[in-house]
Structures are given as C-alpha cells and as structure tokens.
Structure 1
Amino acid sequence: FAPAALGLCELLSRSGRWAEALAATTPLVAAEDVGEGLLSAHAVALRGLGRHEEALAVYRRAAGAFPGSAIALHNIAAVACDLGRYEEAEAAARAAFAGGGDAPETWLTFGRALQGQARFAEAEAAYRSALDRRPLDPEAHQALAHLLWMQTEDLAAASATLDTALVTSPSSTPLRLIRSSLLDHAGESEAAYAALVSSPPDDDLRLQIAAARAALRLDPARARAHAEAALRAMPDDDQAALALCEAHLALGEPEPAAALAERVRRRRPLDQHVLAYLATAWRLLGDDRYAALYDYAAFVKPWTIETPPGWPDLAAYLVDLAAALNGLHGLRAHPIGQSLRGGAQTSQNLRASQQPAIASFFQAVDAPIRAHLAALGAGKDPLRSRNTGRHALEGVWSVRLRPGDGRHVDHVHPRGWLSSACYIALPQAVEAEGRQGWIKFGEPGTPTAPQLGPEHFVKPEPGRLVLFPSYMWHGTTPFGGDTPRLSMAFDLVPAGKS
C-alpha cells in the first residue's frame, strides 16, 4: 500500500534508520507506475546510506516519468552536487528554473554548483537569491557567509547579511550558531562565546553544547556547567556527552572523561573523534591502552607515490600537478569548520577532475595505499579490525598554506578510517631547524590539564604520502620564508572483501 510505505519511509528516514526506510519502499519502486513522492523518498534513503549514484538514477527516473517536475530536477541537482558533478548540477537547476521552479532550496543548490566550479561571484548572487525568497534560511546564510569569508578574509564583509538577519530575529538559534562559528574561526574566541550567551539560551540544547565548546579555552569550569546543563536536558544525547567529556579533559578529570567517551563509543563505534577523546583520557591516566591506539611505528608510515604514465619522472609529474592545483586555489582564506588556518582549501571535487595531472594522482597513490594496508595487517584494535585489504576514497582536497601563519590546528577526521597528507610543493623552510611545516601527531586538539604535547613528527618531502589512523590527533607546525606549502589529502574507508 503506497501511502503507508511512503509514510513509513519518511518516518524512518527522519530517525536516520536508512536501511529500514529503503526496505519499506523497495518492493513498490520495482513497479513501473510509481508516484513521484515514493521515488523521492526511496532516493532519500539511498542518499542516507551513501549510495549517491543509485539515488541519482532514481531521481532521473522521476524526472523522466514526470517531465518538467521542478522537484525532480532540483533533486538531480542536489545529488549531482553531492557527487561533485557541478556542471550537471548547474544544468539541472537551470532546467528547474525554466520549468517554473523558484524554491530557495534550488537557488542554494545552484549556488553550490557554481561555487564548485569556482564561479564565486555567480555563487554569491545565487545564495542572495535564496535569501531573497527565504530571508532567515540558515543554510543560505551559512553558505553566503562562508563564501564571503573565504574570498575576503574580512569578518565584517562575511557577516554583514547575517548580522542584518539577526537584528530581525535575534533569538534564532541556527543564525547565532553560524555567527559564533564564524567569529571563532576568525580568531575572535571571546566574541564567539558571547554570541551564544548574550541572551538566555532558552533551553536550546544546541546553544548549550556550542557554548560549552566555545568556553573550553576561556574557562573550562564554565564549559562544564554548559555541558552538564545540556546533558541534564537530554541525558542520551551524544553531543552533550562529548561536550562534557571535553570539559573534563580540560579540567584534568580523565576518569569521567573516559567513562563518557566509552558510553558514546558503544553507540558510535566508528566515530573517530570519540576514539580520540578516549585515547586522550587514557594518556592522561597512564593507561597502556593508549600506546596500543597510538602505535606510531606500526600505524604512521611515509610512502613515496609512483610516477603515473605520461611523465618521465616523479619530479616532472609534481611540477604539473602543482600547476594544476594552484590553478584551483582561487580563494583567500581558510574554510569555516576545518582545521586549516592561514591558507586556503579547494572547493572543487578533485576526484571528478578531468585535468590529467589531478586525475592521474589516484593512480599514483594506489600502490602505496595497498602496501600500507598490507603492512597494517589484521588485528583486534579499532584500526586493523576493519582492514579488508580494500579501500574506498571518502573526500579529496588540496590545501595551500601561506608562510608565517599557515598551519593546521590539531584535529582528527571523524568519518574517516585512514587519513593522509601528500606533499606536492614545499617551501625551503621545511629543511631548516625547528621542524617548520612538518606534520605532528599526538597533541590533542582539545585542551587538557596538564597540557599534552606532540609525540611524533614526519618531515614533508615532495611526493611523500603519509598515511595514519583518522582517530589520531595531528596538525602542522608553522613555517617561515615566502613560499607556500602545497599538499593534497584524502580520507579512506574500508571496502568489502573481494
């Protein structure tokens, strides 16, 4: 019965129970005569499971069955953006507009498609069109503010439209969260915290959790109070528990921090951030289990990428790869919500790039990745227990750090399994004393008492690929001179056994 299947699928999807949602609609979508709503719900479940190609096929089927449907065309644009097929996304969005579609969601997706093609002025105009149609839309405000920040590195310019919206709706939790994050990543920590607590949090869990994290480096006791309030309001909320875990670490209370991390890990065993917090607590406690997780000799390895076909040697290939990547670095400032500071990150999907040097990169790193998986072997720990010997890429990007303030603050990759840094073009400063521009491991990205420092360093070299567990804290040291530091990075997840 299609209406019941549709309702069940939507209910399960809202709960994140994607596999069950998909099962509810699968028998019905096999028929030829299927409603557009059921097809869309089925595709939403596929997207929730990360099966974007299949979702795109379903959306295309809906567009064919219901010609001119602005909803179907919008959905094609949205999932094409997910896949980094920005030209296809743009075309679908334009077709939706031509068919009478004018939803703010489509303008937002249109903007993302344009931004993915480095057409930043057009993307800005599209985001503003979305806000013209829905002036308090949080996603559009975030997209516009983040784009303006990355283009200008000017906080006032980036937040101008957002600030105007907050005058109209000062109690909007989503807008306050966006404003606070923008301030924090612009280096305005006190202002970031004030943006969250300037008016009563009206028992909003998200504000309490954000205030706890914003207060961590300012006043850990205040951070604990916010996190405890959030956890009292929602005792089973994982983010509230992790915020309290961070506060305990900052106050030098590793026992309750470890207990909270263990509790969340039981529900989210693959979350690499949870493993990082647990490892940090174990390090403070002197627990032997820390050394098993942070086994640098076994888990952190440098490799040299191969020369792909078409180049005489690795040096020649790296010159062409650097030129191709530099051509994509059209932004000035670091993205909001990332570890990068003092530099820029590509906004394009490099996996889908047609440029020969970039497209060949994945062949160049394939053998080192396979060798790394073989060297890891099997085991019962959170890293090796997932090793199938096969892998899938989960995001690829390039970073260009500028000398002086360019660095990565210490962080982990919550959704990865293995992470990487591959060095393409390096400043002379990496050869100088002081490990300038090197990658470092072990220093937590969250405050601890006592403060914990780095334990392991790897020197960058052109063509060197460093692979390491995604749960392992890592960052980079600043460097001097006048030459930027250019790298590529990606995350890996296990693939099924052959």
Structure 2
Amino acid sequence: MPQINSLFVTRLYRANLAELGKSPTPEQLEDTCLAIAEDDTAGQDWCEENQFPGYTSYASLDDLGWRDPVFKDLIKAIDKHVAAFATDLAFDLNGKKLKLDSIWINILPQGGIHTSHIHPHSVISGTTYVAVPKGAGALKLEDPRLPMMMAAPTRTKTAPDMLKTFVSIAPEPGEILLWESWLRHEVPMNMSDDDRISISFNYGWG
C-alpha cells in the first residue's frame, strides 16, 4: 500500500478562554471595550482619518493591561494559552517565554471588514472573541502555500480542511484562536446589524 504523510503542518489553536483558569467573561470584556472606545478620541480620529470602518485601538492605545484591571486579567489568561500553543508547536525558546507585544480592541459595525493580512515581527498572533452576532463574519485563513501553487487545480468542495485553500472558522464569544503570525487571514464583511467585537494581540520572542 502507498504511504502518504502530511508534512509542514499549519496549526490552529482554539479553546474557551476560561479553559486554563480564571478569565473575564465576554460580558465584562464587552462593557470594558465599549467604554474604552468611547473615551479614546485619538483612536476615533485615526479611524476616521484612515477610513477604518468602526473602531480599533491599534494605533492609539498601547497600555490596555495597565488601563483597566479587566484587561490585566485577560492578558494573564491569554499568556497561558500562548504558552500551551508554543509547547504544541515544539518551539525551542532557549529557556525564554513568548511575551505580549501588542493588544488592541476591534469593533466592526455592519459592513466592516478586516482585509487579508499577516502580522510581521511576531511569533504568535490571535484573537479572543467578545461579541459575534449571527452574520458577523468568520475568521478566514489562507493556505500559506497559495502563492507557490502555480498550475495546481482547485480543490473539491468536499476536501478536508487540511487540503483546502481557504478555511473559515466561526468563533463563539468567549473563545480564543491562536496561529503563527505568518499565517494570512481576514475577516469578511459584517452582515449583521450588530457590532462584532474582538480583542487581538501579538506575542514576540527575544
């Protein structure tokens, strides 16, 4: 019988945020995110100037863990998940730990999107989900080999996820997703009447 192995696997970590210990609830995070967004005039101005749909604190706030105790508790919870994922990935960290580099709030209204992108200069990136109304848009992940596929045929609709060119993950409030930062991803248009609220972050090393 022929032997067929899967090589160079792309890992995706998915868990309930509270699975590894105490963490803020989605309700606590939603109240905190909305309050910070309301007070963050610099972030609001940046979003308007750059025609960003909705709100992000990415370009305005770099102290969420200090700014609010809910975020301080959230970061402690995320740290545990990132450490677990780093172990799964068999990273040789030479006795060091991956450290939080940045964390920011995303509030996407109806019609809002996050176009396809990667997170340069980071090791692990991820998102924890606060409010995901029906129709708000899944996380769409792209096969990192796509630019090299050249004349490869498209995949069948029944292909397993490990062979698809794109995989969409529909997260639930209270979940956390982690991936290696080189993995290209996007959030399709929010087709819901309600806001999609999430908190994204990057971890680096060295």
Instruction: Give the TM-score normalised by structure 2.
Output: 0.73
Find the counterpart in structure 2 of residue 396 from structure 1. Answer: 103
Could you tell me which of 195, 198, 202 is aligned with 1:484?
195
Find the counterpart in structure 2 of residue 422 from structure 1. Answer: 128
CA distance in 1 between counterparts of 2:48 and 2:115 reads 13
Could you tell me which of 135, 142, 147 is aligned with 1:442?
142
- How many percent identity over aligned positions? 20
Structure 1 pair 334/401, CA: closer, same or farther in 2 (3 Å)? same
Q: Decide whether the 8 Å contact of 1:401 with 1:485 is kept in 2.
A: yes
What is the correspondence of 1:248-397 to structure 2 with a 5 Å cutoff?
A: 292=8, 295-296=9-10, 299-306=11-18, 317-330=25-38, 331=44, 334=47, 341-346=52-57, 347-378=60-91, 390-397=97-104
Find the counterpart in structure 1 of residue 157 from structure 2. Answer: none
Q: Decide whether the 8 Å contact of 2:32 with 2:70 is kept in 1.
A: yes
Structure 1 pair 335/414, CA: closer, same or farther in 2 (3 Å)? farther
**CA displacement 1:332-386 (0-9 Å, x = unmatched):** 773778xx952210122244433221221112222212211121114xxxxxx55
More helix by share: 1
CA distance in 1 between counterparts of 2:49 and 2:177 reads 25
Structure 1 pair 454/408, CA: closer, same or farther in 2 (3 Å)? farther
CA distance in 2 between counterparts of 1:443 and 1:400 reads 26
Gaps of at least 5 residues in structure 2 are 1-6, 39-43, 155-163
Higher relative contact order (CA 8 A, sep 6+): 2
CA distance in 2 between counterparts of 1:443 and 1:363 reads 31
Q: Decide whether the 8 Å contact of 1:417 with 1:469 is kept in 2.
A: yes
Q: Decide whether the 8 Å contact of 1:390 with 1:494 is kept in 2.
A: yes
Q: Could you tell me how far 1:428 is from its partner in structure 2?
A: 2.2
Q: Decide whether the 8 Å contact of 1:305 with 1:364 is kept in 2.
A: yes
Q: Which has the larger radius of gyration?
A: 1
What is the correspondence of 1:27-426 to structure 2 with a 5 Å cutoff?
A: 292=8, 295-296=9-10, 299-306=11-18, 317-330=25-38, 331=44, 334=47, 341-346=52-57, 347-378=60-91, 390-403=97-110, 405-426=111-132
Structure 1 pair 443/477, CA: closer, same or farther in 2 (3 Å)? farther
Q: Could you tell me how far 1:388 is from its partner in structure 2?
A: 5.4
Q: Decide whether the 8 Å contact of 1:300 with 1:468 is kept in 2.
A: yes
Q: Decide whether the 8 Å contact of 1:343 with 1:402 is kept in 2.
A: yes
Q: Which amino acid aligns with 2:191?
A: G
Residue 365 of structure 1 aligns to a residue in which SS? helix
CA distance in 1 between counterparts of 2:135 and 2:94 reads 36
CA distance in 1 between counterparts of 2:179 and 2:48 reads 23
CA distance in 1 between counterparts of 2:184 and 2:126 reads 12
Gaps of at least 5 residues in structure 1 are 1-290, 379-384, 431-436
**CA displacement 1:232-284 (0-9 Å, x = unmatched):** xxxxxxxxxxxxxxxxxxxxxxxxxxxxxxxxxxxxxxxxxxxxxxxxxxxxx
More strand by share: 2
CA distance in 2 between counterparts of 1:474 and 1:485 reads 17
Instruction: Give the TM-score normalised by structure 1.
Output: 0.32
